[in-house]
């Protein structure tokens, strides 16, 4: 019975009995405490706890689930999988134990031709909570089970709760006995693989409190509405009904395993370690496919990290099977074809899924190539020194330099019988993070050691006059060069200058520093950066363009008016975009950071999902409408509490003094705490052109915009491009999309025809290749390099045509090598006579691939290999001939 058929029978059985059929929820859980849906009942928890009234009295579902807490057991046992499907039936105060047990027994034991699952009653055992006499009596009456096939177990296995105060209740589990060939007698209590749990019935009937552990809590009272929560493991039932030994061999998983065997040239069932690796690949590829179909993408945190780990464990397992090249194109396609009957979205979304998977594979293969050599050498050196622990420094080098994940280092070390010094690794990681923070600060400010500023700060705060003036006369309080306080600086020097007053804005609040100069009698200083090294003090990093400047000299700070105008436009635009975001998305779209400079702004905000094109357009339209409305921009200095009471937005984590500067644009529509420079009316911003929106983490998004003149220039560039296209294509602007689509279609047709011509031309080489057949030992061999071909498919087709021309009745071997897109490839094909003589294509392809600097494999009759060294093609073909001769 196919897995999809079991699924359909389940839903029909309970649907026919008044249960609302509920589609599977996505794998990504709405519960903030869970990364994924880990059980079939998770989407129904609000109904079970009474948090939300249930919309139906009874329901059924087949829920997609992901669990990775037992990831190390995958492939080693018959039932551990990271992705699984849980068939559930639920009652929310409707029916209870008697009906739940009746449903379970009836569906399991009804013959297949009667719509049931056809299990023999004598093969089924049940466990119950040790004190649940009611359930025991029901099992005896409804199922007719004898006492010896009903086992009482304790709270650790047969009592369900959330681990917190709330609903809870005893469980009853149904097990299938696979027979004495699979283990010892004694029932489920033996915890032996012979007995496979297939169904768990949770009787949620009590309110518990004072919970200190899974088995230590107080039962406070019975629930007024008793619930039923059951789960039948779809994969477990499938492997029992399909007569295979484990869940990796069922119809929805086995095709990936078989494909891994073909790609590696291994035989499933021949070697235990290889079997485990193939099962890991089959499980992890399917899990990754399902995660990506629900929108999860590989990353370094949260859900994305778990996905990345599954993908990388698959790649690592393929390497341990001897395949070093990319395999995801084949493996994911096999999983797609196996799963699409149950989940059509894996096919409709496959292009996106495939792009993610192949990109991750390509990246990680580069990582492995660089890191594995170092790690293997370190493992050998550790063993040679008779040590059991790999140095933490080595693990850190791999992580820091090559991006080699620590969990993979741990895994490879464990396979070699070693541990890793995690204490040293964690210490080095902490030191690196501290250095990174210090380096970033140093690169950003390029300021001297902070102690040098103490004397200048003691003279008072730097007065910032830039809100009102672009030029301010002052005097030089100090000069710092190479971290030391000095009296003067001369032409060509780079130094820091401290002024008593300045009109130049120091970088802060997301706004970049002003551009400008500092001038005085006999000197001209170009301002490179303006920062606040200590609170209340502004330092100007300058290069002396001419003259000589000394402490005490009179000086004037001069802001570049064009730059300042652009900066104020960009900062005010940031406020407009923020207000527009909140208007469209709601108050939860809160600013999480920003950066703006003349002509450009970016805004980070709390949001999990990408913004649609329509949403982005709406945000942009609102912001530009506010520009056209010529809103007044006002600033006020007032107490922090008063500003917050007025509704001013404050950045989370930002420190504010007792008094703050509040900026209003159009009154309360945009009201934020901000120390930046702004326009006086919104119309002065000119134009906002929202050019980008992207993810910067699992819960944060980023929008980017050009502002003012830069926005106009970008539109002008686009207009010029459109004009060029309309002229070149002789097509009116409004018809350009259709015209370009037509050209694209024509191009694809032309490319297809070219490919057909090239393939046909390649086939004309068959006679000349056949003529080059020569005896090698007992075989007839064609071993030739044929130059460049477009794809390995073309090369394979040519090899098979030559073999066919030589005749399947002959003892013949064909090995052709070519330059495929700049990389060497070799394909080997054998006839039955050649195989009878001992010539196996898979082994010969691996031999050649080793010389080409890569890997390969396949079946005995047809196999391929590849590498990176084109110059090694003649040697690879010679190696095949030598192997045949030998």
Per-residue pLDDT reduced to its tens digit, 182-191? 888 999 998 8
pLDDT at 372 over 70: yes
Share of the chain above pLDDT 90, in %: 60
pLDDT value for 324 = 85
Residue 712 burial class via C-beta count within 10 angstroms: exposed 0-12, middle 13-18, buried 19 and up: middle
- Position 446 confidence tier, pLDDT thresholds 50, 70, 90: very low
- Position 406 confidence tier, pLDDT thresholds 50, 70, 90: confident
In whole angstroms, give the CA distance from residue 289 to residue 334: 11
Q: What is the mean pLDDT of residues 336-363?
A: 89
- Position 654 confidence tier, pLDDT thresholds 50, 70, 90: low
Share of the chain above pLDDT 70, in %: 95
879, HSE (Cβ side, Cα atoms, 13 Å): 18
- Position 50 confidence tier, pLDDT thresholds 50, 70, 90: low
In whole angstroms, give the CA distance from residue 286 to residue 83: 7
Question: Nearest Cα to 825, choosing from 842, 848, 803?
Answer: 848
> Is there a binding annotation on residue 571?
yes
pLDDT at 278 over 60: yes
In whole angstroms, give the CA distance from residue 629 to residue 410: 61
Question: Nearest Cα to 675, choosing from 598, 571, 605?
Answer: 571
Q: Please give the DSSP secondary-structure letter assigned to residue 618.
A: H
Q: Supply the mean pLDDT for the chain.
A: 89
In whole angstroms, give the CA distance from residue 533 to residue 449: 9
Among 66-80, 118-132, 223-237, 443-457, whose mean pLDDT is lowest? 443-457
> Which comes out higher in pLDDT, residue 659 or 520?
520
> Is there a binding annotation on residue 65?
no
Residue 321 burial class via C-beta count within 10 angstroms: exposed 0-12, middle 13-18, buried 19 and up: buried
Sign of CA dihedral 582, 588, 594, 600: negative
Q: What is the mean pLDDT of residues 782-800?
A: 92
> Is there a binding annotation on residue 399?
no
Q: Please give the DSSP secondary-structure letter assigned to residue 39.
A: S
pLDDT at 441 over 70: no
pTM: 0.52
pLDDT value for 496 = 95
Tally: H helices and E strands in the chain: 26, 34
Q: Please give the DSSP secondary-structure letter assigned to residue 224.
A: E
In whole angstroms, give the CA distance from residue 672 to residue 644: 9
Query: What are the backbone angles phi and psi of residue 860, rounded to the nearest 5°?
Result: -70, -25
pLDDT at 220 over 80: yes
pLDDT at 571 over 90: yes
Q: Write the pLDDT tens digit of every residue in 462-483.
A: 999 999 999 999 999 999 998 8
- Position 435 confidence tier, pLDDT thresholds 50, 70, 90: low
Contacts of 304 (CB under 8 A, 6+ apart): 296, 297, 298, 698
In whole angstroms, give the CA distance from residue 178 to residue 724: 73
> Which comes out higher in pLDDT, residue 608 or 638?
638
Please name every residue paired with 167 in a beta bridge, in sequence order, or none if there are none.
207
pLDDT value for 31 = 67
pLDDT value for 437 = 52
- The answer to whether the CB of 238 falls within 8 A of the CB of 247 is yes
pLDDT at 841 over 60: yes
Q: What is the mean pLDDT of residues 416-437?
A: 80
Largest separation between any pair of C-alpha atoms in the chain: 107
- The answer to whether the CB of 225 falls within 8 A of the CB of 92 is yes
> What is the separation of C-alpha 523 from the centre of its chain, rounded to a whole number of angstroms?
55
> Which comes out higher in pLDDT, residue 94 or 71?
94
> Is there a binding annotation on residue 19?
no
pLDDT value for 330 = 96
3-state helix, strand, coil in the chain (%, to 5): 45, 25, 30
pLDDT at 445 over 50: no
How far is the first Cα of the chain from the last one, in angstroms, to the nearest whole number? 49
Sign of CA dihedral 396, 401, 407, 412: negative
In whole angstroms, give the CA distance from residue 754 to residue 734: 32
- The answer to whether the CB of 288 falls within 8 A of the CB of 314 is yes
> Which comes out higher in pLDDT, residue 199 or 657?
199
Residue 333 burial class via C-beta count within 10 angstroms: exposed 0-12, middle 13-18, buried 19 and up: middle
Give the C-alpha distances (Å, rounded to integers) separating 268 from 79, 80, 215, 259, 320.
18, 19, 42, 11, 14
* Tokens encoding 368: 């492995």
Q: Write the pLDDT tens digit of every residue in 846-871.
A: 999 999 998 888 899 999 999 999 99
């Amino acid at each position: 019975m196919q897995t999809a058929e079991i699924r359909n029978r389940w839903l029909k059985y309970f649907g026919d009995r008044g249960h609302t059929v509920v589609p599977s929820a996505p794998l990504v859980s709405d519960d903030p405490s869970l990364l994924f849906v880990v059980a079939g009942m998770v989407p129904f928890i609000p109904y079970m706890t009474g948090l939300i009234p249930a919309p139906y009295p009874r329901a059924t579902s087949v829920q997609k689930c992901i669990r990775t807490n037992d990831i190390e057991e995958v492939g080693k046992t018959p039932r551990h999988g990271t992705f699984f499907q849980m068939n559930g039936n639920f009652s929310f105060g409707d029916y209870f134990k008697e009906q739940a047990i009746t449903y379970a027994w009836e569906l399991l034991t009804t013959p297949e031709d009667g719509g049931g699952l056809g299990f023999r009653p004598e093969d089924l055992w049940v466990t119950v909570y040790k004190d649940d006499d009611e359930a025991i009596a029901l099992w005896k009456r409804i199922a007719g089970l004898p006492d010896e096939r009903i086992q009482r177990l304790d709270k650790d296995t047969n009592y369900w709760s959330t681990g917190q105060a709330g609903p809870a209740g005893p469980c009853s589990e149904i097990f299938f006995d696979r027979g004495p060939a699979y283990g010892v007698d004694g029932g489920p209590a033996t915890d032996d693989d012979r007995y496979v749990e297939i169904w768990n019935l949770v009787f949620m009937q009590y309110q518990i409190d004072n919970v200190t552990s899974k088995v230590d809590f107080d039962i406070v009272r019975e629930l007024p509405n008793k619930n039923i929560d059951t789960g039948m493991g779809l994969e477990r039932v499938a492997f029992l009904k399909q007569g295979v030994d484990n869940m990796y061999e069922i119809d929805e998983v086995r095709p990936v395993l078989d494909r891994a065997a073909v790609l590696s040239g291994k035989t499933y069932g021949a070697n235990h370690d290889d079997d485990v690796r193939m099962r890991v690949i089959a499980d992890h590829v399917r899990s990754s496919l399902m995660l990506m179909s629900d929108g999860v993408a590989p990353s370094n945190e949260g859900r994305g990290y778990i996905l990345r780990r599954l993908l990388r464990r698959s790649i690592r397992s393929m390497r341990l099977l001897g395949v070093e090249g990319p395999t995801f194109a084949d493996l994911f396609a096999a999983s797609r074809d196996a799963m699409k009957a149950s989940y059509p979205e894996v096919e409709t979304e496959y292009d996106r899924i495939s792009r993610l998977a192949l990109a991750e594979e390509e990246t990680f293969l580069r990582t492995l190539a660089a890191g594995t050599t170092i790690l293997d050498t370190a493992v050998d050196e550790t063993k040679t020194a008779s040590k059991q622990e790999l140095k933490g420094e080595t693990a850190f080098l791999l992580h820091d330099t090559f991006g080699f994940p620590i969990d993979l280092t741990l895994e490879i070390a464990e396979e070699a019988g070693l541990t890793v010094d995690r204490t040293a690794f964690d210490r080095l990681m902490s030191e690196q993070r501290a250095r990174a923070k210090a380096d970033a600060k140093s690169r950003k400010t390029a300021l001297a050691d902070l102690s040098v500023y103490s004397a200048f700060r003691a003279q008072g705060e730097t007065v910032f006059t830039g809100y009102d003036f672009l030029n301010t006369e002052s005097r030089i309080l100090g000069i710092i060069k190479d971290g030391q306080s000095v009296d003067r600086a001369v032409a060509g020097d780079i130094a820091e200058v401290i002024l008593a007053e300045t009109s130049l804005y120091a970088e802060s609040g997301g706004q970049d520093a002003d551009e400008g100069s500092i001038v005085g009698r006999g000197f001209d200083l170009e301002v490179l950066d303006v920062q606040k090294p200590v609170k209340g003090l502004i330092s100007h990093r300058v290069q002396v363009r001419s003259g000589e400047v000394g402490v005490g000299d009179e000086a004037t700070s001069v802001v570049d008016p064009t730059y300042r105008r652009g900066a104020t436009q960009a900062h005010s635009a940031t406020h407009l975009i923020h207000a527009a975001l909140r208007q469209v998305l709601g108050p939860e779209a809160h600013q999480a950071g920003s950066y703006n400079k003349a002509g450009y702004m970016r805004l980070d905000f709390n949001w999990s999902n990408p913004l649609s094109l329509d949403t982005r357009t709406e945000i942009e339209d609102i912001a530009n409408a506010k520009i056209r409305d010529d809103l007044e921009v006002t600033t006020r200095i007032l107490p922090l509490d008063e500003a917050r009471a007025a509704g001013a937005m404050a950045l989370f984590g930002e420190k504010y003094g007792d008094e703050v500067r509040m900026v209003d644009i159009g009154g309360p529509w945009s009201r934020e705490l901000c120390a930046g420079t702004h326009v006086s009316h919104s119309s002065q911003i000119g134009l906002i052109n929202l050019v980008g929106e992207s993810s910067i983490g699992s819960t944060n998004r980023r929008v980017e915009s050009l502002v003012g003149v830069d926005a106009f220039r970008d539109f002008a560039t686009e207009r010029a491009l459109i004009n060029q296209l309309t002229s070149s294509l002789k097509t009116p602007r409004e018809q350009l999309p259709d015209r370009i689509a037509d050209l694209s279609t024509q191009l694809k047709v032309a490319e297809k025809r070219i490919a057909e011509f090239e393939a046909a031309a390649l086939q004309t080489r068959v006679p000349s290749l056949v003529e080059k057949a020569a005896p090698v030992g007992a075989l007839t061999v064609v071993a030739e390099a044929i130059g460049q071909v477009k794809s390995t498919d073309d090369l394979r087709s040519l090899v098979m045509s030559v073999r066919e021309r030589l005749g399947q009745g002959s003892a013949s071997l064909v090995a052709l090598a070519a330059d495929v897109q700049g990389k060497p490839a070799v394909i080997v094909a054998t006839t039955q006579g050649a195989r009878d003589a001992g010539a196996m294509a898979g082994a010969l392809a691996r031999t050649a691939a080793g010389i080409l600097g890569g890997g390969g494999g396949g079946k005995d009759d047809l196999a391929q290999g590849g590498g990176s060294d084109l110059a090694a093609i003649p040697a690879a073909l010679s190696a095949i001939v030598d192997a045949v001769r030998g």
